[in-house]
Structure 1
Amino acid sequence: MRNLAAILAGAAISLAAPISVMAEAPGSVFSQDKLQWKAGPAELPRGAEVAMLFGDPTQGGPYILRMRAPKGYKIGAHKHGGMETMTVLSGVVRYGQGAKVDPNAEKTLAAGGFAATPAEAGHWVNFEDDTVIQVTGVGPWNITYLDPRDDPRAAQR
């Protein structure tokens, strides 16, 4: 029941907050062909690209982004300080929740598939195809890998 309340609260914030600040955020209305794709942050494995739609995940407040990743891209088991939702726009992902990757606990999500992850809940995503997802959350965004060996920042040191 607490998870449902958190999901509903997050959805209400995600839907209501942009209405109040949209006038202050130029560029919040644009067509898909105008997205500005950039390399994903250092916290994610190389190979993904991100396009910001709304807000700034490094700051407090709501944000919406799109991420595209190639077939075979994997984000190991991790958690975030805030709730996060993911909608698959194209392609296929395998999504699971738990402290470590367990293929028996994964769900296959194709275009239109949706997952809501509560704050501090372990989860992972494996991209089975070239895929685009949309991620919504309330910042500041952070990521903690549950197995430090999965953290791409460790390989950069």
Structure 2
Amino acid sequence: MTPLAHSAPVPTEPAPDQSAVTIIPSSDAVKWQPAPVMFPHGTKMAILTGDTSKPGPFTLRVMMPSGSFIPPHTHNLDEMLTVISGDIQHFVGQSLATTQQRHLGPGGFVHLPVNVPHAIKAGSQGAVLQVSGMGPFSMTYVNPQDDPRNTGR
């Protein structure tokens, strides 16, 4: 019988890196900032994880005031959008005259493949949306005249 002292060492796995774990215990802990100028006036944003300007996964929240509207636009990435609170009208298409329109309430979800034109109108109570994707993130308005960056908001 061979003694245990002569057995081969058992390889150990390195401990997973926990420094990148993000935990937000409640919606009260979300840190809201004014949204970039590409969004309607009064819109707020919170980056939950990631960096929207760099390659890699990100999740952000957008707080839209009552009745605010983001005209038809596209993104350079697949976008996953979930309604956290409030409600929205979500439009898919190049113009509002030719779009498919859906009402989405809390828990409503949309997956938008890259470059699919869409628009969003917040309901009477406003809305908080969660958006996830793989950065970098960009937004291009179908009609450049609708882009707040071109009009000074």
TM (norm. structure 1) is 0.80
Give the superposition deviation at 1:25: 2.7
1:144 aligns with 2:133: no
2:149 to 142, 149, 153: 153
Partner of 2:131: 135
- Offset of residue 24 of structure 1: 3.8
Give the aligned partner of residue 59 of structure 1. Answer: 54
In structure 1, the partner of 2:79 is 84
2:35 matched residue in structure 1: 40
Contact 1:96 1:102 in 2 (8 A): no
1:29 aligned partner, one-letter code: I
Structure having the larger proportion of residues in helix: 1
- CA distance in 2 between partners of 1:24 and 1:73 (Å): 37
Give the counterpart of 1:97 among 92, 95, 101.
92
Q: How many residues align?
A: 136
8 Å CA contact 2:81, 2:111 repeated in 1: yes
Cα 1:151/1:78, change in 2 over 3 Å = same
- The answer (yes or no) to whether the contact 2:92–2:99 under 8 Å persists in 1 is no
With normalisation by structure 2, the TM-score equals 0.82
Q: 1:113-150: per-residue Cα shift (whole Å, max 9, x none)? A: 11110001101101113111111111100011001111
Instruction: Look up the match of 2:12.
Output: none
Question: Residue 96 of structure 1: CA displacement?
Answer: 1.2
Q: Find the residue that maps to 2:96 and give its secondary structure.
A: coil
- The structure whose residues are more often strand, as a share, is 2
Unaligned 5+ runs, structure 1: 1-19
Q: Amino acid of the residue matched to residue 24 of structure 2? A: F
Asked which structure has the greater CA Rg, the reply is 2
Q: Which runs of 5+ in 2 are unaligned?
A: 1-15
Work out which of the residue numbers 63, 67, 81 in structure 2 matches 1:68: 63
The CA distance in 2 between the partners of 1:140 and 1:85, in whole Å, is 14
Percent of aligned pairs with the same amino acid: 33
What corresponds to 1:118 in structure 2? Answer: 113
